Amino acid sequence: MTRKIPGSGLAKGLAVTLRTMTKRSVTQGYPEVAPELPPRSRGVIALFEENCTVCMLCARECPDWCIYIDSHKEVVPAKEPGARDRTRNVLDRFAIDFALCMYCGICVEVCPFDALFWSPEFEYATDDIRALTHERDTLRAWMWTVPAPPALDERAEEPKEFAMARRAAEKLAKERQAGPGTGEEA
């Protein structure tokens, strides 16, 4: 049976304190010295507006309901005579309330058209909680801070989509080289 010496816990704690007191502090002065963020760090969500089709998938899947999207339908006239007019959704408002957002990234993952990205921007704090709802112009400006994706591994297998597209392009180039009338007739 081992007996504890009274005050041994206190002595161990003081020993740790003395050891750390003699070491130099590694604290950085944040406002004056910008931190080095890890690559692909999550800061805020950026919007690439040209890719947004207003499918509303991001807003539906958001567990916090912090994405606000407004749109209207627009009629696109037919390009050929006798063809049917088409309708398309036009984005009127896209806003994210970062006071509610829990930065889970579900909206970025479910976007089928690559319209949402993680930006490493993190300096958007404010005294007013209402100012944390950022509209599409701010989200668009953050898009240009999104880092490029990492380079592909040159030893990796070529994606099947790229391989199919390359084969189709090569086939089309061969047909064009052969000239008109030499290909199969339909």
What domains lie within the chain, and their CATH numbers?
A: 35-152 (3.30.70.3270)
Q: Has 66 been labeled as part of a binding site?
A: no
* H/E stretch holding 59: helix 57-61
Q: Supply the pTM of this predicted model.
A: 0.67
Mean pLDDT of 98-106: 94
Q: Tokens 């007996």 correspond to what residue?
A: 3
Q: What is the mean pLDDT of the chain?
A: 89
Report DSSP letters for 83-99, one per residue: PPPEEEEEEEEEEEETT
Measured CA distances, 61 to 54, 77, 161 (Å)? 14, 33, 27
**pLDDT of 95 above 90:** yes
Amino acid at 69: I
The pLDDT score that the predictor gives to residue 186 is 43
Closest-CA residue to 94 (of 53, 130, 63) = 53
Q: Has 55 been labeled as part of a binding site?
A: yes
* Helix, strand, coil % in the chain, rounded to nearest 5: 30, 15, 50
The pLDDT score that the predictor gives to residue 156 is 84
